[in-house]
Chain A
Amino acid sequence: MQEPTTKFVTDSVIGLSPGKKNNMNKLIGRYSNRNRLQVWFALIVFTICAWWNLHPLQFHLLDTTIFFSAAATEEFIRLFSPFHSIEGVSEIAILLMCVFVPTVLCIYFNKVGARYMASATFFWFAYAAQNGFRLFNGTIYRRPTLALIMFILSLLLLVIGLLKCLHNSEIADRGVFKGEIKETDPDNVEVSS
């Protein structure tokens, strides 16, 4: 019975209210039961995408997915007015496709119940924001403030994507990984033996 009082006194001495410490304790290890494979996958994708998003004017792997179609759109429009640069057409085409494709994927994954994959589409939304940065940074639509907002938004979407992936990853206690987790859990091994 003495222990809680002692703990409370200790926390007061180090300047930590019991409520705050409880909240921190709740956060640490909150997702400890998540499927490690999915956690590592989210972290690796986050790292690669973050590196590309932090260098928004350089190559991003998703550029390859839309580059040809956007270029073809621009050239198709140039057919009707050659030698006149309709600047920003390809950028807007890229931006629309960048928003459209992950939106469709996100809705589809949510519909079929693949919540982890739906969360992973946020990395694609971050790429869309990166293209927003490109649009406002160096085309005829140059607006430095909007470009900065887009850059911050892309980083925010990356972090949201990472945390959503973590939140929606499989819980190890159920599902297909149940057997594997039991084998590696030392507590359960002791009980079974």
Chain B
Amino acid sequence: MKPTAPRFMRAPLIAVFILAFMLLPADLMALMGFGANGVTFKILDAARYHAPDITSLEVEIIDSTDNDIFSPGRNFNVWAVLSPDSGIKIGQTLQADFSASKDRLGQISASLDPNTVVIVDDNPSCVEIPWSIWEPVSEYLPALKIVFILFWWLVVILLVSKKSTATS
């Protein structure tokens, strides 16, 4: 006698198989990752940090052969370790190799290879990358978050507190 699944289990089993095949492309894409070579991009904004010594770049893709992730018109935030004599400024048009990965929330972490960066267009209107003004505040952020919550606790406690009776 041929072993078969009970009748009540057939529909769920078929659903699981369909789901597994649906998830297959996603699994393969996760293994493959994303990348594009020779992407032309413009630096819209940037800030340098002391510790660690990294630069945050807001870039806009201008030209790319990749029509998947790094397609023209899209903006990305890229963290890169740039040497002080790289000469990269805000407003310049550059070319570099990009790679990207996706996290659980669907956030794209884009990165560029600093060794492949080539300055395509440099003009006098380009400005030096400034130091981040928020970096000194960042160490107080956890405390500020707690202060935000405690402030509203205080407001609510005041709102629900019993009014003191008038003294005669």
Contacts and interface: CB of A to CB of B under 8 A. Distances in A.
Nearest to B142: A54
Contacts of A87: 69, 106, 108
Interface stretch (A108-116, A139-147, A173-181): A139-147
A166 B156 CA distance: 8
A29 B74 CA distance: 52
Nearest to A165: B156
Contacts of A78: 22, 25-26
Contact of B106 (A82, A139, A144): A139
Interface size class of A (residues with CB under 8 A): 35 or more
The number of chain B residues touching the other chain, given as a range, is 20 to 34
Given A78-B25, A140-B74, A162-B152, A90 B106 contact: yes
A136 B69 CA distance: 15
Interface string A15-26: 000000000010
Interface stretch (B1-9, B111-119, B124-132, B158-166): B158-166
Contact of A47 (B108, B149, B158, B161): B149
Nearest to B59: A142
Interface in B131-168: 145, 148-149, 152-153, 156, 158-163
Contacts of A139: 106-108
Contacts of A32: 159-163
A51 B107 CA distance: 20
Interface in A73-122: 74-76, 78-79, 82-85, 87-88, 90-91
B108 A39 contact: no
A85 B109 contact: no
Given A31-B160, A155-B148, A85 B58 contact: no
B163 A29 contact: yes
A164 interface: no
B161 A29 contact: yes
B160 A134 contact: no
Nearest to B145: A54
A36 B160 contact: yes
A178 to B, nearest CB: 17
A20 B152 CA distance: 21
A139 B28 CA distance: 20
A137 B105 CA distance: 11
B79 to A, nearest CB: 12
A51 B26 contact: no
B145 A51 contact: yes
B26 A162 contact: no
Please provide the 3 A-B residue pairs with the shortest distance between their CB atoms, ordered closest to farther: A138-B107, A29-B163, A82-B25
